[in-house]
Amino acid sequence: MGGGNHQLGQRERDILTTIIDQYISTGEPVGSRTLARLISEGLSPATVRNVMADLADSGFLEQPHTSAGRVPTAQAFRYYVQQLGQDRALGEADQNRIRSSIGDPKDTEQFLERSSHVLSQLSRSVGVAMAASVATEALEHVHFTRLAENKVLAVVVTRGGVVSDRVLRVKRDLLQNDLDVAARYINENFRGWTLGAVRTELQHRIEQERSEYDRLMRSLDQLCRDGALADSPREQAIFIEGTANLVANAPDAQRLRQILETLEAKEGLAELLTAYLSNDGPEVRVVIGLENAGPHLQNFVLIGAPARIGEELMGGLAVLGPTRIDYEHMIPAVQYVARLFDELVHGAN
């Protein structure tokens, strides 16, 4: 493959963009004759062929062995997306369609489920939406109730509205008063922290603090050791819509089977989304060529965005499709759904 930093001249840029647009709309390799007809400058097929040869040398085009035409490489699509930029507005018709499909969700999970559906419809590919794992969810509050000797009910509510409760068998009996003090301490000090961070900081404070906190710290230590703030065992919510759309884009039955297996193994997909959608990353991430997730995904693209409430990462949404997806349309669509998440879910809380 040629260098990714290759600077293209205006003519090369125009020809490459035309090839990509044509390939996105037809899925067929593009030949120099077709291209000469499409370009308004009136270039001869010979000139066009020379430019195409240069683009191929630079790693932007490749020739499928069965065809005289050329197709864009992953490098070409990356260049194309860079040229498009991220500040494109979504048409009003699409905005309305998305809003009416998502409606008035009652919680994070309902929003994610509906958004995977609408993204799949818009892209004619696969729509994926995922809630953040519980360890990364922020704490709203905890509540502890003494059920019996050495038995405590721990209720943990996250900012996303997820409630997990578990019955703890504590080695040392704790009175309700001690439990109330412990819950108050956690709620006053750690509201908005992720559960993972709360556990780490509590462990640190338990080791540091002495004196008047002794009894409180002993209670907290006991509760933490017995799993009061453990990650909920619930399955991470991940919604996938539109796998049937891939049938048309998979070149052969074996690859299709591998792709469908990847989608069914939701953990792999969750890892893929988590890897690319960090809280401090760009608003929309376009990853072209997903061969890191498996060689069968090398001609696929992920267009994803983090779902946030304010600054807080609550999950992610994405479209997964062939590299010839309609980038111009889908980048702003994914971005719009992500912004709606903050507006609708935040507004509901």
pTM: 0.71
Model pLDDT for residues 247-261, shown as the tens digit of each residue = 766 667 777 777 777
Work out the pLDDT band at 1, boundaries 50, 70, 90: very low
CA–CA gap between residue 215 and residue 50 (Å, rounded): 81
Predicted confidence at residue 4, as pLDDT, reads 46
Predicted confidence at residue 318, as pLDDT, reads 92
Model pLDDT for residues 22-60, shown as the tens digit of each residue = 999 888 898 888 888 888 677 788 888 899 999 999 999
Q: Average pLDDT in the 240-251 region?
A: 75
pLDDT over 90 (residue 337) = yes
Domain count, the chain: 3
CA–CA gap between residue 134 and residue 197 (Å, rounded): 12
Does any domain span residue 86? no
Predicted confidence at residue 134, as pLDDT, reads 59
242 and 129 belong to one structural domain: yes
CA–CA gap between residue 153 and residue 212 (Å, rounded): 26
Work out the pLDDT band at 281, boundaries 50, 70, 90: low
Does any domain span residue 320? yes
What HEC string does the chain produce? CCCCCCCCCHHHHHHHHHHHHHHHHHCCCECHHHHHHHCCCCCCHHHHHHHHHHHHHCCCEECCCCCCCEEECHHHHHHHHHHHCCCCCCCHHHHHHHHHHHCCCCCHHHHHHHHHHHHHHHHCCEEEEEECCHHHCEEEEEEEEEEECCEEEEEEEECCCCEEEEEEECCCCCCHHHHHHHHHHHHHHHCCCEHHHHHHHHHHHHHHCCHHHHHHHHHHHHHHHCCCCCCCCCCCCEEEECHHHHHHHCCCHHHHHHHHHHHHCHHHHHHHHHHHCCCCCCCCEEEECCHHHCHHHCCEEEEEEEEEECCEEEEEEEEEEECCCCHHHHHHHHHHHHHHHHHHHHHHC
Does any domain span residue 84? no
Other CB atoms within 10 Å distance of the CB of residue 251 = 10
Q: Average pLDDT in the 79-93 region?
A: 84
41 and 59 belong to one structural domain: yes
Work out the pLDDT band at 139, boundaries 50, 70, 90: confident
335 and 266 belong to one structural domain: yes
CATH code of the domain covering residue 218: 3.30.390.60
Does any domain span residue 215? yes
CATH code of the domain covering residue 61: 1.10.10.10
- Domain that residue 211 falls in: 136-225
Work out the pLDDT band at 279, boundaries 50, 70, 90: low
pLDDT over 60 (residue 2) = no
Q: What is the mean pLDDT of the chain?
A: 82
Does any domain span residue 128? yes
343 and 280 belong to one structural domain: yes
Model pLDDT for residues 153-168, shown as the tens digit of each residue = 998 888 767 777 888 8
